[in-house]
Structure 1
Amino acid sequence: MADESAMTAEKERAAGWFRALRDEIVAAFEAVEDAQGGPGPAGRFQVTETRRGEAGEEGGGGLMSVMRGGRVFEKVGVNVSAVHGELGEAAQRSMAARGVPGVEADPRFWASGISLVAHMANPHVPAVHMNTRMFWTPGAWWFGGGSDLNPCIEYEEDTGHFHAVQKEFLDPHGEEHYPRLKAWADEYFYIPHRRRARGVGGIFLDDHCTGDWEDDFSLIQDIGRAFLPAYLPLVERRREQAWTAEDREVQLVHRGLYAEYNLVYDRGTKFGLATAHDPDAVLMSLPPLAKWI
């Protein structure tokens, strides 16, 4: 099913799609910066090429695009990558435990995806995370990812809109998908040591392979397509809302939860560091400022 030569075209299509989605999101976020008045210049992404391993000898890389100190986005990263090489023993054992066939006998892998995290200047604008990815080994291929909303000050109408758009994009693939992926996100983005969720949820899936690559790719594309219509209306609704020093305090403490989750539990963070990808790109998700009490 996952023969290397037979998957070449599919790999290229997936990597191209993730790059195109990155370009669309970067342009949309810079347009939000342009629309927001302010004394300083509108924020812009700084783009850096990334490599896997020292000098890129491990195989592959990508683009790290980060905006800092914008009018609306305090820090936002939109990264894409396509990497390949051999899995370490720990990664092999982890994937074998998840039921990935053949991974213990052959450690080769290929992976591509987009990863986005936005931390906002205004505490009323929710932080957000999104990623989609394709993974290949000689014995299998699969897709994964999703998006979830992380407000420090929750508004029910914002949460409702975010979830409604996810459902709208998933339902054409089968009405069973949204409730299943929502429940998966609720479980995945839970912080056990805090006994709470890190946000208000969203959708998530992993190891998704029905055996029909086209159908699975179409599903992961719609998860990516849902992001901007789910999130941008919330930014527009809240970006000029007045906020106080107390609101900022709540935001910084909530960011501490986000940092804890990503450093302790997030599967993507662990995989990126374990496979020698650029650590700055892997840790792009961390907030620029956070606080613990």
Structure 2
Amino acid sequence: MEGHMDDQRRRAADWFRELQQRITRAFEALEDRGPGDAEPGRFDVTPTKREEGGGGGLMAVMRGGRVFEKVGVNWSEVHGTLSTKAQSAMAARGLPGMGSDPRFWASGISLVAHMQNPHAPAVHMNTRMFWTPGAWWFGGGTDLNPCIEYPEDTAHFHDTLRAACAPHGAEYYARFKAWADEYFYIPHRGRARGVGGIFYDDLNSGEWEADFAFTRAVGEAFLLAFLPLAEKRMAQPWDEADRETQLIHRGLYAEYNLVYDRGTKFGLETGHNPDAVLMSLPPLAKWR
């Protein structure tokens, strides 16, 4: 059984790495088509290591491009032992295997894009697999964060996710959309950080292949959902008022990721590279 799970973990980690490569290639191709005469942006790829325990990853970050002001697409595969605090937090979510054996393994991809043009929406996506001796599960999702919303863009994003979810569960889209609406909410501001998407965690139906297939579908739907919006808005005229709106909206994004985001907390608590964990933060932001 352990050997079988080893093979499944290898398949998952390799697929997350392949998805990272696919997305970075697509984003660099978009940079080539981007507006202006500046050099198109390119990703700097840096290996990362977990401070305690084993594993690491690849942090791919592009700054100052034609289309992207800052975008990170990180892949990781880490293992070690969970702290008592992390075990308690997971046990509180009803996850099994959190008592006797603190070993864990995790792999995934995490992406956040902050755009040059205020009319082009920021976006987040991640997919991951987590294992302990007592259980395994998948999680992830994607949500759109426009500072200037266009209803047709929101509709395209959600329609694409609905189509990706449909073959895997008739209730998946509605269930995971509602979860995203709850999860990506900023209580101290009384508002959502964007226009939503889907979010799921602790997914273990008992059928590893089915849950892995759904996670792949979420990852593969991302470029279909986001790239047409970025391409449509990347050359749209904007002014300083639009830029001000963008910077203030980014402040909301920073607040959420530093205060509430589950992945940020887990990464810092388990000793992963802090630059990789905090890659999601925008390069510039404002507060009133």
Normalising by structure 2, we get a TM-score of: 0.99
- In the alignment, the residues of structure 1 paired with residue 21 and residue 4 of structure 2 have an alpha-carbon distance, to the nearest angstrom, of 28
Report what 1:72 is aligned to.
Answer: 67
Match of 2:36 among 28, 31, 38: 38
Q: Which aligned runs of 4 or more in structure 1 are off by greater than 6 angstroms?
A: none
Q: Which runs of 5+ in 1 are unaligned?
A: none
Tell me by how many angstroms 1:72 deviates: 0.4
Tell me by how many angstroms 1:37 deviates: 3.5
Match of 1:135 among 130, 134, 145: 130
Report what 1:218 is aligned to.
Answer: 213
Match of 1:197 among 192, 196, 199: 192
- In the alignment, the residues of structure 2 paired with residue 110 and residue 190 of structure 1 have an alpha-carbon distance, to the nearest angstrom, of 29
Number of aligned positions between the proteins: 288
Deviations 1:229-257 (A, max 9, x none): 00000011101100000000000000000
Report what 1:5 is aligned to.
Answer: 3
Structure 1 residue identity aligned to 2:177? K
- In the alignment, the residues of structure 1 paired with residue 78 and residue 97 of structure 2 have an alpha-carbon distance, to the nearest angstrom, of 19
Q: RMSD across aligned C-alpha pairs, in angstroms?
A: 0.8
- In the alignment, the residues of structure 2 paired with residue 105 and residue 269 of structure 1 have an alpha-carbon distance, to the nearest angstrom, of 25
Matched ranges for 1:205-284 at <5 A: 205-284=200-279
Match of 1:105 among 92, 95, 100: 100
User: Percentage identity across aligned positions?
Assistant: 69
Report what 1:50 is aligned to.
Answer: 48
Q: Which runs of 5+ in 2 are unaligned?
A: none
Deviations 1:99-137 (A, max 9, x none): 111212111000000000000000000000000000000
- In the alignment, the residues of structure 2 paired with residue 256 and residue 142 of structure 1 have an alpha-carbon distance, to the nearest angstrom, of 32
- In the alignment, the residues of structure 1 paired with residue 224 and residue 32 of structure 2 have an alpha-carbon distance, to the nearest angstrom, of 19
Deviations 1:15-54 (A, max 9, x none): 011001000000000000001142321000000000000x
Deviations 1:183-237 (A, max 9, x none): 0000000000000000000000000000100000000000001100000000111
Report what 1:149 is aligned to.
Answer: 144
Normalising by structure 1, we get a TM-score of: 0.97
Tell me by how many angstroms 1:174 deviates: 2.0
